[in-house]
Amino acid sequence: MNKKLVMATNNANKLREAREILAPLGIEVISQREAGADCEPEENGTTFAENALIKAKAVYDAVKLPTIADDSGLCVNALDGRPGVYSARYASKGQECQKLLDEMKDVPDDKRTASFQCTIAYIDENGETTMSGECRGAIGYEMRGTNGFGYDPVFMVGERTMAELTADEKNAISHRGAALKALYDHLSTK
């Protein structure tokens, strides 16, 4: 196994999570920018797996190193699964939580269930595979917490939002953490 893995992202938060979970394998996770891949493929898939594979293939083709990419999003039951694969494009950057809270303002407690979904695609010289993770919770009524990003401040797990958890607590239960643990298991057999 090559000890260097490229993550098809320049998102510092996603990189940190991947580095923390894969570190025990002695794998150095680098961003696509650090690897020299300057590409932003259009994520036009209709599933998290399709979008993850689109990103992983583009970066792998550019650098020819083992590559991972993730696609993730928030699926809200009261909104028929929206924003789903369109989570990143649901609202203007920084306005996602407020738009979601506005849409959910009249939804009662028992109908506020939601889940974070994540699929990670892994590509190397031997082919490609995907693995997924999920974290179930509910949508809160206000933004709380400063740890985390995206929809974390409104996604409740128990009595706290994802943004109120420590990095270790979040990695232990998050959708990306679960998918990265599946990747960890996959890579530990290589």
User: Which are the catalytic amino acids?
Assistant: 71
Query: Which region, left, alpha or beta, applies to residue 45 given φ > 0 means left and ψ of -120 to 50 means alpha?
Result: beta
- How far is residue 25's CA from residue 86's CA, in Å, rounded to a whole number? 33
3-state secondary structure (DSSP) of residue 145: coil
- How far is residue 132's CA from residue 172's CA, in Å, rounded to a whole number? 15
Tell me the torsion sign for CA atoms 48, 51, 53, 59.
negative
Contacts of 33 (CB under 8 A, 6+ apart): 10
- What is Dmax (Cα atoms) for the chain? 51
Which H/E stretch holds residue 49? Answer: helix 48-63
Nearest to 63 by CA among 38, 40, 29, 43: 38
